Amino acid sequence: MHSLVTIADLGKEKILSLLASAARFEAMPNRKTLDGRVVATLFFEPSTRTRLSFETAANRLGARVIGFSDAATSSSSKGESLKDTIMMVSNYADIIVMRHHLEGAARYASEVSPVPIINAGDGANQHPSQTMLDLYSIMKTQGTLDGLDICLVGDLKYGRTVHSLIMAMRHFHPRFHFVAPTELAMPNEYKLYCREHGIDFTEHTEFDETLINAADIIYMTRVQRERFTDLMEYERVKNVYVLRADMLRHTRPNLRILHPLPRVGEIAYDVDDCPQAYYFQQAKNGLFVRQALICDCLEIEG
């Protein structure tokens, strides 16, 4: 049995085998694979979306679910250390899915816990099941992960999902196009990462149809007001990075639009009806990917 803390720990073969497993779960999501097992979901930081996805994954595999949905109802509100909470819960559960506001919490938990830990987000650090569902969505819509043109749009500075996606795609020869306002541009460390791993990328501050029409995947992210030191700049860019249906008239037929959700306005509602919109199915894919991840960490055939 093993934990899943970061996507960086997964090699190419492992990623591909997890995606194949997720596809088998999609074909048949309701099974008794985890009959008699207990899955704990410890959400020290609330995230309804992620928690429901993991709990549904566990339920559809026949497992029982225990846990809490925010720290206020957990013993950590009484000052209990993370270690003590993990040790207590590991007496009851076969695997722990945890989300925590502190960075590195899942790594630490995985080192003290006798049962596997799945990181469902540790602050601004890692959220590997999100990355896996992004990869699954790309694979499913494009038929391959290899050699794709991927536009990453919006907040590329703080958006951990795009950083993890770059790291996970390193095995698959992507061409990235970074589209962000100057204040939220891709940090140097990730551009350096791309250069070190031979990943092609271009950088843009304008989000226009030239880019859209040459893309296989457009990955939109939230541009959040609180990220800006200059509110004038926020007012200027918030509408520049909005995708509307009329921008999708001349795209590649295989183009799909992804977004980690929830959106706050960067994808207009009229896009929802376009064939390129894929963000709702993307979220649904999270279920199958999480079934695959839980079984993999427990080393149970999925």
* Residues recognised as catalytic: 49-50, 78, 99, 127
According to the binding rule CB under 8 A, does residue 66 interact with other proteins? no
**Residue (82 or 292) nearer to other proteins, CB:** 82
Q: Do 268 and 260 touch, CB atoms closer than 8 A?
A: no
Q: How far is the CB of 83 from other proteins (least distance, A)?
A: 6
CA distance 77 to 97: 19
CA distance 88 to 201: 46
According to the binding rule CB under 8 A, does residue 296 interact with other proteins? no
CA distance 243 to 265: 9
According to the binding rule CB under 8 A, does residue 71 interact with other proteins? no
CA distance 67 to 133: 23
Binding to other proteins, residues 41-60 (CB under 8 A): none
**Exposed / middle / buried, residue 74 (Cβ in 10 Å: 0-12, 13-18, 19+):** middle
Contact code string over 150-189 relative to other proteins, x by CB under 8 A: ---------------------------------------x
According to the binding rule CB under 8 A, does residue 82 interact with other proteins? yes
According to the binding rule CB under 8 A, does residue 192 interact with other proteins? no
Q: Which stretch binds other proteins (CB under 8 A): 53-61, 105-113, 207-215, 253-261?
A: 105-113
**Exposed / middle / buried, residue 201 (Cβ in 10 Å: 0-12, 13-18, 19+):** middle
Identified binder of other proteins from the candidate list 1, 20, 72, 124, rule CB under 8 A? 124
CA distance 48 to 261: 12
Total residues binding other proteins (CB under 8 A): 18
Identified binder of other proteins from the candidate list 108, 158, 193, 201, rule CB under 8 A? 108
CA distance 300 to 296: 6
Identified binder of other proteins from the candidate list 9, 35, 103, 209, rule CB under 8 A? 103
Q: Which amino acid is at 278?
A: Y
Residues interacting with other proteins, by CB under 8 A?
Answer: 6, 81-83, 100-105, 107-108, 122-126, 189
